[in-house]
Structure 1
């Protein structure tokens, strides 16, 4: 039985949940006593220069691993991790030469999320992994459909969100909160919903980059994850994507049917009950823990909110007290990592 190592990639400082999720998992793996292999940032493809830098970095990162890896070690990778062709070549090499076992913890599946790579290319790399930690049962089903071995798959259930305790919501009448990328390309529904609800009592608290209205009194800017969790306002967290008020549609909307949006975890830690589309993968989680309401359409939003009694809201708040403690302390990540290592005979 070898040691357990993990790639610890330098993160670009941005006001988004993706960076926070990777940093939290790094922290949890270090707390478990695993050996970090410090890596250069290798996933920035926003300009030709950054593409070149990332391609150089991914090669240097594998070279750093070669200096410390020993026979029969296990490597944990937060996926995706840089250039696919380089990773394919290097994983094959280390498995052959060092009998390296590789665990991939999925953050996103780019071939499905935004079609930025070919599905065949992504699956070829994932098939090399010894264990894959995917988001949920719906993502697991999708990966099995794509011919991945179901015995290799472990479900995370939800991303953790490490932070200090947050006070419970004081009222169920402080509006609906949307936190995330507010670009109309991803979230056109927001602009339609603001127009739809003009003159009505329901209000929105908006947080995130790329907001496109010149003035909106309830837009609170784009905050770092650390600041957002302390300052976020509202009584409910809305999880939706696309340009329709009747369903989550388009590439981003359809992705919700298999994805664990990190903003769900943030809202739950902030002790805001979730409002989520009925076909979203995490609607099952919301039902299981009774921490929100599953909705068919945003056209019914006003009625949905008005039908939540004080007793129902208080019940969800009590459930959130228990669940937020798990999310803040890394419960779900620890459980998934332990299950993955059990499959490898490492626990």
Structure 2
């Protein structure tokens, strides 16, 4: 049985760019029998339309398969619709599975009902969807998605840096991400703990007491530089809750940042209303909190023995997501449903 994974990349200044999450999932699938089909999506609208009408049907015809995994989104409604229609026209017996990286109706297009309707329609045109977590699955069902859905809980993260083993609990936190979206950092001050910050801009950032800017690193190199007993997963401009488009999005998504920390052997601190919070609690992979301006007190209450127990769980989980087990287990469940 031939299987193909379709991944779209954007052509920026002559360079094909894709996210680490998509690249990792592509590599995991290719290493497990899938044939890669990479689509370079034009940025110009007219060229994108021509690409969808002419090039995509030809590409699909040349790459016939029994099973397709499409890494969603493909950066364009026109492109994703053309891919699905071309697969169905070429082989009506092919199974199509969407591997969700982002649901734009929950993020950049939140509140846009017309776009939400289009996205739901796309989802209902495939045979199955691998979603982030139970919260996202419930949302999609509530909006009218009725196809098979399997949640993978957290993304895998290919990481060849040594898994960190902390012999001493030093009450140290790390945060990695887009610092322009992390306004909450400017409001934090710590006396008993240390917060190490990583990310763009590369120019040195000055924060308040207890917070230290450590620089910006390539995603594949970053794990080697992370220093902390916990990795912080937080978004927005408030220390008391997650705010803004991306903060609200954490109610439904599984942030790739959490997988970065966990694959490195670092337990996580997540918002107690986040979509991944129940999974983190149930598997003791970190702690969940309602606010982060009191982490001085929260972390001092965690004993060395408690931390070591959490860290042991994380070390075992790191080995799993470094091998792509979350995606492969979810895919196996989906294939059992679709091909049985």
TM-score scaled to structure 1, two decimals? 0.86
User: Equivalent residues in 2 for 1:180-259 (5 A)?
Assistant: 180-183=177-180, 186-193=181-188, 196-197=189-190, 200-210=191-201, 214-215=205-206, 218-259=212-253
Residue 9 of structure 1 and its aligned partner are, at CA, apart by 3.8
**Aligned twin of 1:114:** 108
Q: Secondary structure at the match of 1:220?
A: strand
> What number of residue pairs does the alignment pair up?
326
Residue 127 of structure 1 and its aligned partner are, at CA, apart by 1.1
The structure 2 residue matched to 1:74, chosen from 45, 61, 67, is 67
Give the conservation status (yes or no) of the 8 Å contact 2:61–2:90: no
**Aligned twin of 2:150:** 154
Q: How many angstroms apart in 2 are the aligned matches of 1:315 and 1:90?
A: 47
Residue 65 of structure 1 and its aligned partner are, at CA, apart by 2.0
After superposition, the Cα gap between the structure-2 partners of 1:61 and 1:298, relative to the gap in structure 1 and judged at 3 Å, is same
Per-residue CA shift, 1:21-55, capped at 9, x if unaligned?
A: 11111111111112222322x2x86xxx5x66666
**Aligned twin of 2:159:** 163
Residue 135 in 1 paired to residue 132 in 2? yes
Residue 56 of structure 1 and its aligned partner are, at CA, apart by 5.8
Q: How many angstroms apart in 2 are the aligned matches of 1:66 and 1:242?
A: 45
Residue 61 of structure 1 and its aligned partner are, at CA, apart by 4.6
Residue 58 of structure 1 and its aligned partner are, at CA, apart by 5.5
Question: What are structure 1's unaligned runs of at least 5 residues?
Answer: none
Give the conservation status (yes or no) of the 8 Å contact 1:177–1:234: yes
The structure 2 residue matched to 1:85, chosen from 71, 78, 102, is 78
After superposition, the Cα gap between the structure-2 partners of 1:107 and 1:97, relative to the gap in structure 1 and judged at 3 Å, is same
Residue 218 of structure 1 and its aligned partner are, at CA, apart by 2.3
Q: Secondary structure at the match of 1:5?
A: strand
Residue 84 of structure 1 and its aligned partner are, at CA, apart by 0.5
Q: Secondary structure at the match of 2:126?
A: coil
Residue 95 of structure 1 and its aligned partner are, at CA, apart by 1.3
Give the conservation status (yes or no) of the 8 Å contact 1:58–1:83: no
Q: How many angstroms apart in 1 are the aligned matches of 2:200 and 2:282?
A: 31
Give the conservation status (yes or no) of the 8 Å contact 2:133–2:252: yes
Q: Secondary structure at the match of 1:294?
A: strand
After superposition, the Cα gap between the structure-2 partners of 1:279 and 1:37, relative to the gap in structure 1 and judged at 3 Å, is same
Instruction: Identify the structure with the greater strand proportion.
Output: 2
TM-score scaled to structure 2, two decimals? 0.88
**Aligned twin of 2:15:** none
Per-residue CA shift, 1:83-124, capped at 9, x if unaligned?
A: 212322441343144213210000001121121772112111
Give the conservation status (yes or no) of the 8 Å contact 1:206–1:218: yes
**Aligned twin of 2:258:** 264
Tell me the C-alpha RMSD between the 2 structures. Answer: 2.4
